[in-house]
């Protein structure tokens, strides 16, 4: 199944510092997930001042339970960066 995830960072004063601290491990995991075909595309959501405030991800995993585990294992979740999730089942358009 394919999912769109909008993961919002905390809004407290230390939120950006937590993101930056977890970012290297998050990117390492994201690269592997991309190679494995789980992460289709992802990136940071920016505010009006170009500060990172969340992430958007398109993910392909077996089911919602697998997605929940996938998100729980991410360094941004473990590091309390992502604090709110909006999740939608979706399908990437095949334009080829």
Query: What would the 3-class secondary structure string for 46-79 be?
Result: ECCCCCEEEEEEEEECCCHHHHHHHHHCCHHHHC
pTM: 0.91
Instruction: For residue 66, name the pLDDT band (cuts at 50, 70, 90).
Output: very high
Instruction: For residue 16, name the pLDDT band (cuts at 50, 70, 90).
Output: very high
Residue 52 has a pLDDT of 95
Residue 36's CB: how many other CB atoms inside 10 A? 9
The yes-or-no verdict on residue 55 having pLDDT over 90 is yes
Residue 77 has a pLDDT of 98
Burial of 83 (0-12, 13-18, 19+ CB in 10 A): middle
The yes-or-no verdict on residue 82 having pLDDT over 90 is yes
Instruction: For residue 94, name the pLDDT band (cuts at 50, 70, 90).
Output: confident
Distance CA 17, CA 20 (A): 5
């Amino acid at each position: 199944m394919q999912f769109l995830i909008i993961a919002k960072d905390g809004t407290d004063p230390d939120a950006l510092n937590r993101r930056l601290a977890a970012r290297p491990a998050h990117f390492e995991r994201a690269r592997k997930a991309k190679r494995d075909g789980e992460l289709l595309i992802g990136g940071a959501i920016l505010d009006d001042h170009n500060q990172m405030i969340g992430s958007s991800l398109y993910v392909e995993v077996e089911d919602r339970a697998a997605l929940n585990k996938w998100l729980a294992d991410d360094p941004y979740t473990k590091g309390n960066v992502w604090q709110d999730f909006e999740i939608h089942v979706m399908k990437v358009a095949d334009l080829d």
